[in-house]
Chain A
Amino acid sequence: MAKFGRKGKGGTPAISTASLPDIVFMLLFFFMVTTVMREVSMKVKISPPEATEVKKLEKKSLVSYIYIGPPIKALINVYGTEPRIQLNDAYAGVEDLGEYIIAEREARDEKEVPFMTTSLKVDKETKMGIISDVKQKLRDLNALKINYSTKKGIKPQ
């Protein structure tokens, strides 16, 4: 009896918060590992089109990005509203693609080169002319795996 009687005396003790920092640090490390830092500062505005047949891009380290879209608001005064190509952090022309793809290839292991994918992040208002030029150039460069970046949307009707 005495054994049980002792319990409950003196109210409930305060929950120790000593392990709270550890828990939060665990969360922190989880986020640090799972997320990617924004690699480039966007100079073009992109609202991707929607599609239903999307596939996830795997192996992000093997993906090179090409951004095409109208310049962001802050740069409209200088560059106008015509869609432009952005590679890394700067505007580029179709002729710069060769250099970019070769640089991307050299940064990877030789064995991984055939698995490299080029992701085209294009604004939906863009006309196909500029995209066709890019595609043609990629074909010449033998960068054949491409991915049209889209949002996973509802069935477009």
Chain B
Amino acid sequence: MGRSKRGVDEINAGSMADIAFLLLIFFLVTTTMDVDSGIMRKLPPPIDPDMPKPPPIKQRNVFTVLVNSNDMLLVENQIGNITTLREECKDFVRNPSNNPDLSEKQDPEMLDLIGSYQTSKGVVSLQNDRGTSYDIYIRVQNELVAAYRELRDELAMQTFGRKFNELNKGQSKAVKKAIPMMISESEPRNIGGSVK
């Protein structure tokens, strides 16, 4: 009886904080916080042998980028440079002066929210060698994606006064339709200079 009156001795909770800290530090060390990020791309669907071949694309509508095994660039049959690739690609798609060497434009089309717009018929074709390094491949991809992103930004700025990724869903859909990202990758082959 006397025991229950006194009650159970209180457990000292002073070290509770230490235990919790220990656990906390354990979790901090064993877990990773890194956010995965990267360049999103979509692969072309597998070729169906029964399907008729798509009509060939006019040479002037193709912006070819070749990367050989020495990580050198050939842009539109001229030795290219990674630093100028972005501007060249933008010029190709935009073609402000209707240069016959650059991409053709489709007939003006009425697009929602934007109005009449001439979509470019240009396609970027990226081809690499089996010996190309991944680093340069990603840098080329990055420049091409950046070129399209800047073009979209420009159009978004003109029509909506905001950057592309600040647009709402309908607006960004319209801009995407006006400037579709046309980057095609052909199957790799040994372009030359390859170490077999």
Chain A: residues with CB nearer than 8 A to chain B? 17-18, 20-21, 24-25, 27-28, 31-32, 34-38, 48-49, 51-57, 60, 63, 117, 119-120, 122-129, 131-132, 135-136, 138-140, 142-152, 156-157
Q: State whether A128 touches B20 (Cβ < 8 A).
A: no
Number of A-B contacts (CB under 8 A): 156
Given contacts A24-B21, A51-B39, contact A124 B27 (CB under 8 A): no
Tell me, yes or no, whether B44 is within 8 Å of chain A by CB.
yes
Q: State whether B134 touches A49 (Cβ < 8 A).
A: yes
- In the complex, which residues of chain A have a beta carbon less than 8 angstroms from the beta carbon of B69? 127
Nearest residue (CB) in B for A53 is: B145
Nearest residue (CB) in A for B128 is: A128
Q: State whether B31 touches A150 (Cβ < 8 A).
A: no
Q: State whether B42 touches A24 (Cβ < 8 A).
A: no
Given contacts A25-B20, A128-B137, A147-B39, contact A52 B132 (CB under 8 A): no
The CA of A56 and the CA of B34, in the complex, are separated in Å by 11
The CA of A68 and the CA of B43, in the complex, are separated in Å by 18
Q: State whether A57 touches B188 (Cβ < 8 A).
A: no
Task: Give B143 Cβ to nearest chain A Cβ, in Å.
Answer: 9
- In the complex, which residues of chain A have a beta carbon less than 8 angstroms from the beta carbon of B40? 55, 117, 145-147
